[in-house]
Structure 1
Amino acid sequence: MSTDMEATAPGGTPTTDTLPRRFADFDTLGEALDYAASGVRGLNFHDARGTLVRAYPYSELREDALAQARRLIAAGVRPEDRIALVAETGAEFASLFFGVVYAGAWPVPLPLPTSFGGREAYVEQLRVQLSSCDPKMLIFPPELAQMAGEAARIAGVEGIDWSEFATRETPEAELPTAKGDDIAYLQYSSGSTRFPHGVAITHHALLNNLAAHSHGMKLVGTDRCVSWLPWYHDMGLVGCFLSPVANQVSTDYLKTEDFARRPLAWLDLISRNTGTTLSYSPTFGYDICARRMSSQTKASDRFDLSRWRVAGNGADMIRPDVMQSFVDAFGDAGFQASAFLPSYGLAEATLAVSIMPPGEGIQVELVEETELSGGDRRGDRPQRFRAIVNCGKPVRDMTVEIREEDGTPLPERAIGKVWCKGPSVMVGYFRDEAATEACMADGWLDTGDMGYMSDGYVYIVGRAKDMIIVNGRNHWPQDIEWAVEQLPGFKAGDIAAFAITTPGGEETPAVLVQCRASDDAERQRLREEIRERVRAVTGMNCVIELVPPRTLPRTSSGKLSRAKARNLYLNGEIKPYAIAA
């Protein structure tokens, strides 16, 4: 096969380019696109079956973005105005995002509706985020005109269908000159619902993180990316949209909703586009693909994953058992376990805080549960260990410290709060000084996560706010959920554990379990089996509630939201199955 054929996806933008590669070493995001547009690479959008719908070279993206900028300026948009954009994966959002940047305003990507919550929940989510960012306008895809338009009306914001906006005139206008310390965009973290926090990221912070990202992954000229991640989440927006522009990488996209319907289309696209070497996913993406293959024949009959150099993993707790299941399912299709690249990050640090060096794969340390919870092992209960995944080394220019609750730095291998400091840390939360001061001090960011350092590597053990404290002892919800997952018929994402207060005033864990059984006697049997399993693993008696499938809420990035599950349960909005008399 010729080099040219290897370097190009069928009908898409080329993988390789004669343009000298620059690793995000620009002053502003607009400059990054200006440079990428002088080459031949670009973005490529595919339908649900992975068929190329549109090749979108960076040169065309820049031309469209400049036209969008002139339309925005003609509509009265000024520097530092916020422009809210519903982040549908496609050329329209891409051109609008960069059009807002060229106009000197701040794009604010907002989510698409999910399958959870329905119309009213989506309208309310948009409304609170619009109220938070106070935008000049909300621009949305025509198919969401009813819901997004209603949210804009309630929030008192002008709502515009982007197909209508694209027909407007593009009068000549002088574009403002951006500086590196100007705000580039606002990002709402995936947990931003009732009390949204708009993360303000400068051009300098963004490009520093994108350069560190490419450095950590050891990006080369023959790399090509495939992604299904949503553009309203930091890993999708920053890692798989803005990074390819700033580092001049051709990228192929499936829409997130298409991946959800046909997960294996992701691996089909990687197999078919022979230049593909990079693709990222949270753990659940690998999990669902491995499960879909379990009933099929050899993966090698359908897939070729031998060129997949960086199989990135982040955005939620990394499960080594799931990663092994993926290797078991796709090893014969050429997938190498060493391709796994665990990472850790958050929107408040732009994206990446730590990245595993390529080729080192999944590495775990077994940590005794009493070390994880900060207690002493009691009684004659056997030791129990949890496998904690190595999330790599701090990216270039980033410093990580583990601290006590009072801010005192902790030594090697001591578990505490994870703090980070570097040029890519956010300016703060938009118009929320109190929330900013609560998590930032002297340039350091309190990530809200718990972890430890070992030999220069970062290990994450959980979210501090998820910790369950009963009788003075700390318990991680992941350990309770894992115990239930070991029972037949349950899987990751079916279980949510959190603390509640009983009528007697005592703290106790509650465990919500999605149950598919319809027979009362079977449900009662499952309830007792779950109760005994949790007691055996944790030594605790828990409130066990069985709930219908698809009940537990998710964040916009697909992660289980324990905090929201707890609120919905306590408010009576999650209705468990009745206990048979």
Structure 2
Amino acid sequence: MRTLIEVLRDNAVHTDRSVTFVRSNGEELSVSYPDLWLTARKRAHALRSLGLARGDRVALILPDPDEFVLTFLAALTAGIVAVPMYPPQTLAKLEAYGDTVRHVLAASGARAVVTTEALRGMLEEHLLAGGGVKTHGGVRVVLEREIHEADGFDPDADWSVELDETAFLQFTSGSTSSPKGVMVTFRNLAVNSHAIMFDGLRSTPEDRGVSWLPLYHDMGLIGFVIAPLYALVQVMFLPTTAFIRRPSIWLDAIHRFRGTITFAPNFAYALATRAVTETQAAGWDLSCMRALGCGAEPIQAEVLRGFLTRFAKNGLRPESILPSYGMAEATLAITFSDIDATLTTDRVDLMAMRAGMAKPAADGAAAALELVACGRSFPGHEISVVAPDGTHLEDRQVGEVWLRGPSVTVGYFNEPASTEDTFGGGWLRTGDLGYLADGQLYICGRAKDLIILGGKNYYPQDVERIVSRVDGIRDGQCVAFSRLDASGGEQAVVVAECRKSTPELSQAVMRAVRAEVGVQLAEVILIKRGTLAKTSSGKVRRREMKRRLETGELELAVAEDKGGVAPPPVPSRSGVFPPLLSGAS
């Protein structure tokens, strides 16, 4: 088993292979495998010259993908623990971003942060000094150009690391709690990369990857920077923001680069299906694509089918779709669907699911839920579905998904209590609800997000999917959760971004949810566009939105037809209204 550093060294003999970075202006930069290894060593030497020692943590806030990847590999080559961090998305949300930066720097104990000249002033003035981080471990701001070269570089120096050393800290998204630093070792990377590239994708050096995924998150970083190096697979990296603005660049790159492997969350397939025009798609040949991976958020069968149908005339094969499941605590990937199979789904009886049983729905049954199969665990790994009392359940019984095997990481950095809660007893407790059927894993949702009404279980994702289809609600921009009413009972609530706030829209949401899943919503609260709380990877933060509702921090949408006065939320049947919300205008 080789460390990533050994892979970089061994790959340097392949002068004909490279990674390609597409910049925001469309310029392409190709870095050959020999140059990748040389640059990693030069920058590793420069980092050491700054006084950073083996095992020190260095944070990376680098918007340009080429600078991020080259500096990340350099840190690992030097035995310095990298801490990937996302750059600021917008100045409008700088306060929340600053809170995250200060938390991650303090939690990781980073000695330095490598960033750009453009971000340096903001980091020093608004993010570091404000939270007292400069006195917490003495964080030093280092410009990317400072590590491009350093005196005294020895090309023959020995750069080596041990398999059980920590390679980097992958901070969790923070969708369910404060971000925690997952300690990913070189052994974890080697095992999971092999599982992804060889067990899952059955990859060869003839494959080509295309990715617009953020590189500071595990799917983009491990899935497309690290794992492909183990299989000599060349990759083209696209700017994440460019994809969001113009989704066609993703499929256009697959056509031009003859990409065979790509991954994206569910929302990206929906966005591309909706936003790509016939003119943009004309002339594309997508028959080269053999692995359209989907993961990182709930997978909707109708979205994947719509994407496959939309681009079938461009040569896209139905067998190319590849639902998967993973999480940072398992390095990245936990299950893959069969690389040669078409989309597999399971229609289950809605009433039975509320009782914790995934009973197949009768043909033609209206009260049914369709779930996507996420595949099987990798060789050397084991999945079990477990009840709250620790009982390992049989097929089609819903419980928490547990995993054990060499991809499971060693825990959270400096978080012994959380590590014991999640990793104790030899199993990784994922916190996700799911079930097994015919060896395939089906994910239902997060255990802590479950809505329980009258002793019956409801999954917020099912409610949110219905709400998103209501005309006037922004697609995917909503959350469902439960809260206590005046009598101490549970009631279901929806908070959603809307195009225009009206009482009729709130009523339409309530009718749709009641008709399709039988849930009587107590409240429908319409908020301003762009104010739904999300993680840096785009996951909705249900608990944060619940907190904002309870503390009066939601930014209500203004009803245009009411003279600028926000309409009251729709009351529950008991007549209980939510507290008056600040920010209403």
TM-score (structure 1 length as normaliser): 0.89
1:579 partner amino acid: P
| Residue matched to 1:155 | 133
Return the structure number with greater relative CO, CA threshold 8 A, min gap 6: 1
Contact in 1 for aligned 2:434/2:444 (Cα 8 Å): yes
- Given that 1:88 and 1:231 are in contact with CA atoms closer than 8 Å, whether structure 2 keeps it comes out as no
Deviations 1:216-253 (A, max 9, x none): 11102210000000011110111011112222211001
Aligned to 2:306: 325
Corresponding position of 1:363: 344
* 3-state SS, counterpart of residue 530 of structure 1: helix
Which residue of 511, 514, 530 corresponds with 1:535?
Answer: 514
Helix, strand or coil: the match of 1:245? helix
Q: Secondary structure at the match of 1:185?
A: strand
Counterpart residue number, 1:41: 17
1:459 matched residue in structure 2:
442
After TM superposition, give the deviation of residue 116 of structure 1 in Å.
9.1
1: CA distance, partners of 2:352 / 2:61: 43
The answer to whether residue 370 in structure 2 is matched with residue 387 in structure 1 is: yes
Are 1:96 and 2:74 counterparts? no
- Match for residue 320 of structure 2 among 326, 336, 339: 339
- For 2:542, the aligned partner's letter is R
CA distance in structure 2 between the aligned counterparts of 1:94 and 1:454, rounded to whole angstroms: 39
Hey, what does 1:20 align to over in structure 2?
Answer: none
Tell me the distance in 1 between the aligned counterparts of 2:79 and 2:519: 57
The residue correspondences of 1:25-424 to structure 2 (distance < 5 A) are 25-26=1-2, 28-39=3-14, 40-48=16-24, 51-115=26-90, 118-149=93-124, 150-153=126-129, 154-156=132-134, 157-166=139-148, 168-172=150-154, 177-191=160-174, 195-215=178-198, 216-274=200-258, 276-293=259-276, 296-297=277-278, 301-374=282-355, 384-424=367-407
The number of residues matched between the two structures is 544
Unaligned runs of 5+ in 2: 359-364, 558-565, 570-585
Going from structure 1 to structure 2, the CA distance change for 1:87 and 1:420 (only over 3 Å counts) comes to farther
Report Cα offsets for 1:51-83 as digits up to 9, x if no partner.
Answer: 442101121121111111111111111111111
Question: Counterpart of 2:434 in 1: which secondary structure?
Answer: strand
- Answer yes or no: is the 8 Å Cα contact 2:248–2:280 preserved in 1: no
Tell me which residue corresponds to 1:548.
528
- Cα distance, 1:386 vs. partner? 1.1
Q: Residues 465-503 of structure 1, C-alpha deviation per residue, up to 9 Å, x if partnerless?
A: 111122332211112112223323445412211112234
SS state at 2:521 partner: coil
- In 2, are the aligned partners of 1:354 and 1:394 still within 8 Å (CA)? yes
Amino acid at match of 1:155: V
**Does the 8 Å contact 1:116/1:550 carry over to 2?**
no
Alignment partner of 1:76: what SS? coil
Question: How much has 1:258 moved relative to structure 2?
Answer: 1.2
Deviations 1:172-199, CA, capped at 9 Å, x for gaps: 5965641111111110122269622100
Q: 1:365 to 1:421 in 2, by over 3 A?
A: same
Contact 1:61-1:91 at 8 Å conserved across structures: no
Distance 1:195 1:30, change over 3 A: same
Contact 2:218 2:332 in 1 (8 A): yes
Distance in 2 between residues matched to 1:316 and 1:192, nearest whole Å: 11
What is the rounded CA distance, in whole Å, between the counterparts of 2:21 and 2:232 in structure 1?
A: 17
For 1:63, the aligned partner's letter is L
1:436 to 419, 423, 426: 419
Letter in 2 for 1:345: G
- Per the TM alignment, residue 376 of structure 1 is displaced from its structure 2 partner at its CA by 9.0
Deviations 1:299-337 (A, max 9, x none): 751422111111011101111111111122211111112
In structure 1, what is the Cα distance between the partners aligned to 2:257 and 2:418? 44
Hey, what does 1:14 align to over in structure 2? none
Query: In terms of mean alpha carbon deviation, does 366-375 or 452-461 score higher?
Result: 366-375
CA distance in 2 between partners of 1:424 and 1:452 (Å): 21
Specify the code of the residue in structure 2 equivalent to 1:540. Answer: Q
Q: Name the % identity.
A: 33
**CA 1:539 to 1:183, structure 2 compared with 1: closer, same or farther past 3 Å?**
closer
Q: Check 1:116–1:311 CA distance in 2 against 1; reply closer, same or farther (3 A cut).
A: farther
1:452: Cα distance to partner? 0.8
Cα gap change, 1:376 to 1:130, in 2 (>3 Å): closer
Amino acid paired to 1:556: S
1:526 aligns with 2:505: yes
Instruction: Output the CA distance in 1 between the equivalents of 2:123 and 2:231.
Output: 33
Equivalent position amino acid for 1:160 in 2: V
Shift of 1:539: 3.5
Deviates more, 1:93-102 or 1:232-241: 93-102
Instruction: Tell me the residue number matched to 2:491.
Output: 508
**C-alpha separation between the residues in 2 aligned to 1:192 and 1:59?**
39
Matched residue of 2:278: which SS?
coil
CA separation of 1:339 and 1:491: change in aligned 2, threshold 3 A:
farther
Three-state SS of the structure 2 residue aligned to 1:358 is coil
Unaligned runs of 5+ in 1: 1-24
For residues 74-116 of structure 1, the C-alpha deviation after alignment (integer angstroms, 9 at most, x for no partner) is 1111111111112535222222112111211211111122359
Residue among 477, 480, 484 paired with 1:497: 480
- Quote the Cα distance in structure 1 between the aligned partners of 2:27 and 2:111: 34
Q: Does the aligned pair in 2 maintain the 1:448–1:463 contact within 8 Å? A: yes
Shift, 1:167, TM fit: 5.1
Q: What secondary structure, in the 3-state scheme, does the structure 1 residue paired with 2:347 have?
A: strand
Paired residues of 2:46 and 2:149 also in contact (CA < 8 A)? no
CA distance in 2, matches of 1:91, 1:297: 32
AA partner of residue 334 (structure 1): G
Q: Distance in 1 between matches of 2:196 and 2:357?
A: 39
Amino acid at match of 1:533: A
Write the distance in 1 (CA, Å) between the matches of 2:119 and 2:398. Answer: 45
Identify if the C-alpha distance between structure 1 residues 475 and 170 changes in structure 2 by more than 3 Å, giving closer, same or farther.
farther
Report the CA distance between 1:348 and its aligned residue. Answer: 0.3
Distance (whole Å) between structure 2 residues aligned to residue 392 and residue 376 of structure 1: 19
Q: 1:193 to 1:67 in 2, by over 3 A?
A: farther
Secondary structure, aligned partner of 1:84: strand
Contact preservation (8 Å) 2:383, 2:403: yes
Conserved 8 A contact 1:300-1:334: no
| Contact 1:317 1:462 (C-alpha < 8 Å) held by counterparts | yes
Residue aligned with 2:532, SS: coil
Q: In structure 2, what is the Cα distance between the partners aligned to 1:364 and 1:83?
A: 43
TM-score, structure 2 as length reference: 0.88
The reply to whether residue 565 of structure 1 matches residue 545 of structure 2 is yes
Give the direction of change, closer, same or farther, for the CA distance of 1:282–1:117 in structure 2 (3 Å limit). Answer: farther
Give the residue type in structure 2 aligned to 1:530. V
Relative to structure 1, the CA distance from residue 77 to residue 439 in structure 2 (aligned partners, 3 Å threshold; closer, same or farther) is same
- Residue deviations 1:268-294 (CA, integer Å, cap 9, x gap): 1111113x111110011111000113x
